[in-house]
Amino acid sequence: MNLPNSLTIARMVLVPLLVVALLTEFERSRIAGMPKELVAAGIFAIASFTDWLDGYLARRRRQVTWLGQILDPIADKLLTSAAFISLVQLNLAPAWMVAIIIGREFAITALRSLAYSRGVTIPASPLGKIKMVSQVTAILLLIVGWGPIPAFAPLGYAALWVVMALAIVSAVDYYRRFQRLVAARVTDVNIVRQRRESDRRTARRTSN
């Protein structure tokens, strides 16, 4: 297994550690002498950094693999979903907002799977990447604002609204691109069929 894929798996391993750090009651709310909020924020920050690093290394080393393309989005969704659900459990994020954000992730995954089954690949959009950055920012602000720096909590809540807006807009963008790509694919297939049929007719006439 190459390094980018190893980083992706490491991100998946960090997910349960993040949940434990956020939801487990520790003595004096400290882990190894540090506030558990900072520990949780550190785990999430490291996991988020591996999301960028594994993609960068895969492209730089030309180690983009089928396994990595499958595992990377799964790891991303596990990380952000676990963080958001934990924040709901801690009453740091409204459940309805988190439901919209996570629901969007599953909807896009289903859309990509449907497109792939039709021989179409939908690349990540700039809106999707911006949404991911805003998600990381919102989660970190909410976690840190929950404990050592309460002033960050309102900023995190404002960032959460941005995440929800981007989730909706980017979902609409994905759906429109899906329709265009699938329509173009169908058109290409029909053109190929027409050309083959024309060639067959020409061959029959020539043979006659």
Q: What is the pLDDT of residue 18?
A: 94
Written as one letter, the residue type at 77 is: K
- Give the pLDDT of the chain (208 residues) as one tens digit per residue: 788 889 999 999 999 999 999 998 877 777 877 888 899 999 999 999 998 888 888 888 888 777 777 788 888 889 999 999 999 999 999 999 999 999 988 888 888 777 777 776 666 677 878 888 999 999 999 999 987 788 999 999 999 999 999 999 988 888 888 788 777 665 544 444 556 565 565 656 665 5
The values of phi and psi at residue 160, to 5°, are -65, -35
Structure tokens that stand for 125 in this block: 């959009």
- Where do the domains of the chain lie? 3-207
Distance CA 80, CA 141 (A): 14
Question: Which residues does residue 34 pair with via DSSP β-bridges, in sequence order?
Answer: 31
Written as one letter, the residue type at 175 is: Y
Q: What is the pLDDT of residue 93?
A: 94
Indicate the length of the chain as a whole number.
208
Structure tokens that stand for 4 in this block: 């980018």
Written as one letter, the residue type at 204 is: R
Q: What is the pLDDT of residue 78?
A: 92
Would you say 50 and 71 are in contact if contact means Cβ atoms under 8 Å apart? no
Q: What is the pLDDT of residue 192?
A: 46
Give me the architecture of the 3-207 domain, per CATH: Up-down Bundle (1.20)
Global pTM value: 0.81
Question: Which residues does residue 30 pair with via DSSP β-bridges, in sequence order?
Answer: 35
Would you say 38 and 97 are in contact if contact means Cβ atoms under 8 Å apart? no
The values of phi and psi at residue 125, to 5°, are -95, 160
